[in-house]
Amino acid sequence: MNRTIALGVVASAALAAAAFGVHAQDKPKPDPKMSFFITSEGVGDGANLGGLAGADKHCQMLAARVGAGKKTWRAYLSADAAGGKPAINARDRIGRGPWYNFKGEMVARDVADLHSDTNKLGKQTSLTDAGAVVNGRGDTPNQHDILTGSALDGTLATGASNLTCANWTANGEGAAQVGHHDRTGGGANPTSWNSAHPSRGCSQANLAASGGAGKFYCFAAK
């Protein structure tokens, strides 16, 4: 390799490194107070999240990816009684608050505020771990169905059938109670962030058919 070619290779490598550095610097970082987000991506297997433990692990992984992994993250999901263990309510898993989104905006002061009409949850404030706005009603595709398995007050949703997709281990038949992060749309409680209606099933295709993508809420419990 002659000197001219060698210098060209070095220069190209330097330019590529500089460009990479610029892009890395341009990537937004969450506010240090961030303690709430919607998962930027689901697990990818419908409502089979690997149970509550798998969902918590997914929250922790996404938080760590943006530099917020030192906090203890929990998925906002309820679960039915099973294996001799009592039912689990989503509201009891997430700590006391207050909770802040990616931008550092407070979305709820405490558990009572979170489950009241005074919370600040909505399409523009319920951001992902990457700081993005999640598609809602009117967007393509609509992904406003967020898995919760919960009633309006954050306790386990109950009905004629299990509403947690077999405690977040099923990806076929069944249903999961979902909320609307944009607080619009149909269902029994169309403006509810955590309890709008049951999904059409538990598979990835079922969730997409009713306006979801297998995403869920994550809160920093401490």
Residue 98: predicted pLDDT: 98
Say if strands 177-180 and 197-198 run parallel, antiparallel, or are unpaired.
antiparallel
- Nearest-angstrom CA–CA distance, 196 and 133: 19
Domains of the chain and CATH, by start: 33-220 (3.10.100.10)
- Nearest-angstrom CA–CA distance, 156 and 111: 15
Give the sign of the dihedral formed by CA 102, CA 126, CA 159, CA 42.
Answer: negative
Residue 222: predicted pLDDT: 81
Residue 191: predicted pLDDT: 95
pTM of the model: 0.88
Q: What percent of the chain has pLDDT over 90?
A: 84
Does the pLDDT at position 1 exceed 90? no
Residue 11: predicted pLDDT: 44
The tens digit of pLDDT for each residue in 106-120 reads 999 999 999 999 999
Does the pLDDT at position 23 exceed 60? no
Model confidence at 159, in pLDDT bands (50, 70, 90)? confident
The tens digit of pLDDT for each residue in 72-112 reads 999 999 999 998 999 999 999 999 999 999 999 999 999 99
Does the pLDDT at position 15 exceed 70? no
Residue 25: predicted pLDDT: 55
- Nearest-angstrom CA–CA distance, 199 and 99: 27
- Nearest-angstrom CA–CA distance, 118 and 101: 16
- Nearest-angstrom CA–CA distance, 218 and 130: 13
Q: Enumerate long-range contacts of 81-85, CB under 8 Å, 24 or more apart.
A: 82/167
Token readout for 175 is: 């249903």
Helix (H, G, I), strand (E, B) or coil at 100: strand
Q: What is the 8-class DSSP label of residue 141?
A: S
Residues 6+ apart with CB under 8 A from 81: 87
- Name the burial class of residue 80, with classes exposed (0-12), middle (13-18) and buried (19+) by CB atoms within 10 angstroms of its CB: middle
Does the pLDDT at position 4 exceed 90? no
